[in-house]
Amino acid sequence: MKKSKKEVTIYDIAEQLNVSATTVSRALNDHFSIGKETTLAVKKLAKKMGYRPNTIASSLRKNKTNTIGVIVPWIHRPFISSLISGIEEVADKAGYNVIISQSCDSFEKEVTKAQTLYSNRVDGLIVSLAMETKNYEHFYPFQQNDIPLVFVDRVSFEMEADRVIINNFDAAFNATEHLIKMGCRRIAHFAGAQHRNVYRERQEGYINALKKYNLPVDETLIVYSNLSMEEGWKGTEYLLKLSDPPDAIFSANDSAAVAAIQCAKEAGLKIPEDLAVVGFNNDRISSIVEPPLTTITHPAIDMGKIATQQVLKHKENKDVVQSETIVLKTGLTIRTSSLRKVAIKNSVQGLR
């Protein structure tokens, strides 16, 4: 049975060198007031003794943890894991750690996680809201104590806080307009929960595009779900059974869109000739599915980076009081799944 040794502290080093703990502390932090030689000697001995600074003690004293808290719905979603990657990169460069929490799209869990992170005295909090969340009081403590709070992607407009988002409305509008220009006239939509900004705005973009081109908005063509592959498959089955089925689907994410392609193909339809499909996110599967999926490009990593920069900005510059909303650009990556006009033309000419 190993006896775990006591850890080395600055006092141990001080004792050996016959200096004060203060001097050791300063030397280790390269304080200018400490002599070159002393500093060197301290560092040398520290290394030799296997000294490891105790961040906990330092944090308590300095009232600063150098840690950024993150709450996301699910870590393993492609968009989210890229987001985290961006957060971690910028945080790391600035000397910050990152504590990650999943809300699992549950309001209750989100509340608990927020409290825990607050108790851990994180220096900033980055949040992408849970599906269920409609109340934001659990973030008040952060606001009240001037802890930078940044929402990403799934945000709240009911709170004073920084936001890093994309223009979901425009993206969805462009996607839908693209389908219209490809000759589609009955365009269905896979929609998400409408109290979450991202899904509401995507639906609004879709509807406005239809209106601009004087196409009817048919509620039977709007399918609400959690946008999983399963729901995408079911939604497609439902749509294809309609007496007047759609000639296109604009899905609020890629998973459901890919499922739509697979389901329609199994039903004997040709993509995009019989059914054009556009997704959202540019997940890796979107370029692998056949035909490749036209989709909206989401700058996930950049969103993480920028959100983190916002946190850091507030830390450095205490004067920054007003909150900012940063809107990032999206792109429409056109692949085969939506090229109905071209596809139809080719097949008429007997090409391919």
Partner DNA sequence: TTGTACGCGTTATCAA
Partner DNA sequence: TTGATAACGCGTACAA
The residues that touch a second copy, with contacts defined as CB under 8 A, are: 1-2, 4-5, 7, 50, 52-57, 59-60, 65, 67, 74-78, 80-82, 84-85, 88-89, 92, 97-102, 115-116, 118-121, 141, 144-146, 258, 284-285, 288-290, 319, 321
Among positions 10, 258, 307, 312, the unique one binding DNA when judged by CB under 7 A: 10
| 253: Cβ contacts below 8 Å, ≥ 6 apart | 190, 192, 227, 279, 280, 281, 283
CA angle 124, 128, 130 (to 5 degrees): 125
Among positions 2, 4, 18, 78, the unique one binding DNA when judged by CB under 7 A: 18
Between 18 and 349, whose beta carbon lies closer to DNA? 18
User: Residue 9 and residue 215: Cα distance in Å, rounded?
Assistant: 73
What's CA 269's distance to the chain center, in Å? 34
Report yes or no: 119 and 87 within 8 Å, Cβ to Cβ: no
Between 106 and 208, whose beta carbon lies closer to a second copy? 106
Rule CB under 7 A: say whether 22 interacts with DNA: yes
Calculate helix-pair angle for 300-316, 78-93, nearest 10 degrees.
Answer: 40
Among positions 3, 32, 349, 352, the unique one binding DNA when judged by CB under 7 A: 32
222 binds, among a second copy, DNA, none (CB under 5 to 8 A by kind): none
Strands 222-224 and 276-278, bridge-based pairing: unpaired
| Stretch touching DNA by CB under 7 A, among 12-20, 180-188, 227-235, 327-335 | 12-20
What's CA 230's distance to the chain center, in Å? 23
In the block, tokens 């997940």 appear at 283
Between 54 and 325, whose beta carbon lies closer to a second copy? 54
x/- map, 44-73, DNA, by CB under 7 A:
-------x-xx--xx-xxxx----------
Rule CB under 7 A: say whether 35 interacts with DNA: yes
